Amino acid sequence: MGTALIQGAIRAGVVAAADVVGCDPYEKSRESFAEATGATVTASINELAGCEVILLCTKPLEVVAALTDAAAMAAGAPRLVISIAAGVTLGALESAVSENFRIIRAMPNTPALVGHGAAGYCLGSRATPADAATAQALLGAVGLAIVVPERLMDAVTGLSGSGPAYIYLVIEAMADGGVRAGIPRADALRLAAQTVLGSAAMVLETGEHPAVLKDMVTSPGGTTIAGLAVLESHGLRSALIEAVGAAAERAAELGR
């Protein structure tokens, strides 16, 4: 995810590759980051001493330790830290460092890899308007970025953070249906994926409620209403609602 965000920021001109240093203890990860971004890489966090912004891309259980190491490296110099660790609160992050560190908590998603990400972010108590603009530029370089109150961050995680997996399942199932109806697998997958892509674009570009767009496709006594009736009878709507809720709750558990 860190690689995707930096790739997008470099493509958009938000930052130059020459001004980026990637730090990772694993050699293969460093090599991959360097190849994808053209940035300098290091295994030592001390090499980040000249960096004004730190994008912290660790697992939730590791983020506080990594942040503490970063604070020791900074030796009191002011820094902006953008953390993408699921569930870890601003309070937990801010309590791990001194007041010279300004914290932003973000939750991007994997479609950032292809420039179509969706991210929510919230500002820590010491973050400035300039810090918010930095986060917006970085996250917005790879898709949609929305500032939200922290109380909604776990919900963002359950919706857009985990959401791509739900949609991949939908695409796979739709393609299976196409195969069952006689369409070759490769063609069925492409048709299903393009249908999801186009439908999402319709929602974003027209601004219409999904129900309105759904009704535009649904003729009386036609094929679409027959399919929709099956989906409703099997609880697709409630299953997706409950999936978002379960993922949001799990994000909250990780933070605790």
Q: Are 120 and 51 in a shared domain?
A: yes
**Residue 80 reports pLDDT greater than 90:** yes
**Residue 224 reports pLDDT greater than 90:** yes
Give me the pLDDT at residue 75, please: 74
Tell me the Cα Rg of the chain.
21
Final residue in a domain of this structure, among 106, 132, 153: 153
d(CA 218, CA 233): 17
Residue 176 token pair: 């299976």
Q: Are 182 and 137 in a shared domain?
A: no
Is residue 158, in this structure, part of any structural domain at all?
A: no
What phi and psi values does residue 20 have, to the nearest 5 degrees?
-110, 135
Is residue 191, in this structure, part of any structural domain at all?
A: yes
Q: Are 89 and 216 in a shared domain?
A: no
* Residue 77 binned pLDDT confidence (cut-offs 50, 70, 90): confident
Give me the pLDDT at residue 149, please: 97
Do 101 and 120 form a contact (C-beta atoms < 8 A)?
A: no
Is residue 193, in this structure, part of any structural domain at all?
A: yes
**Residue 74 reports pLDDT greater than 90:** no
Q: Are 205 and 247 in a shared domain?
A: yes
d(CA 69, CA 44): 10
* Residue 254 binned pLDDT confidence (cut-offs 50, 70, 90): confident
Is residue 39, in this structure, part of any structural domain at all?
A: yes
Please report, for the domain that includes residue 126, its CATH number: 3.40.50.720
* Residue 153 binned pLDDT confidence (cut-offs 50, 70, 90): very high
Q: Are 21 and 102 in a shared domain?
A: yes
76 CB neighbour count, 10 Å cutoff: 9
Q: Are 78 and 201 in a shared domain?
A: no
Do 224 and 218 form a contact (C-beta atoms < 8 A)?
A: yes
82 CB neighbour count, 10 Å cutoff: 23
84-140 per-position pLDDT tens digit = 998 899 999 999 888 889 999 999 998 988 889 999 999 999 999 999 999 999 999
Please report, for the domain that includes residue 239, its CATH number: 1.10.3730.10
Is residue 116, in this structure, part of any structural domain at all?
A: yes
Give me the pLDDT at residue 122, please: 97
Residues linked to residue 21 through DSSP beta bridges, in sequence order: 40
**Residue 255 reports pLDDT greater than 80:** no
Q: Are 169 and 119 in a shared domain?
A: no
Give me the pLDDT at residue 33, please: 95
- pLDDT average, residue stretch 207-226: 96
40-64 per-position pLDDT tens digit = 999 998 888 889 999 999 988 888 8
Is residue 216, in this structure, part of any structural domain at all?
A: yes
Q: Are 146 and 194 in a shared domain?
A: no
Q: Are 141 and 80 in a shared domain?
A: yes
Query: Of all helices (H) and strands (E), which one includes residue 104?
Result: strand 101-107
Residue 59 token pair: 């697992």
d(CA 20, CA 161): 25
Could you list the residue range(s) of the whole structural domain that residue 233 is in? 163-255
pTM score of the predicted model: 0.90
Task: Work out how many domains the chain is built from and give that number.
Answer: 2
Final residue in a domain of this structure, among 106, 124, 153: 153
Angle at 142 between CA 137 and CA 147, to 5 degrees: 50
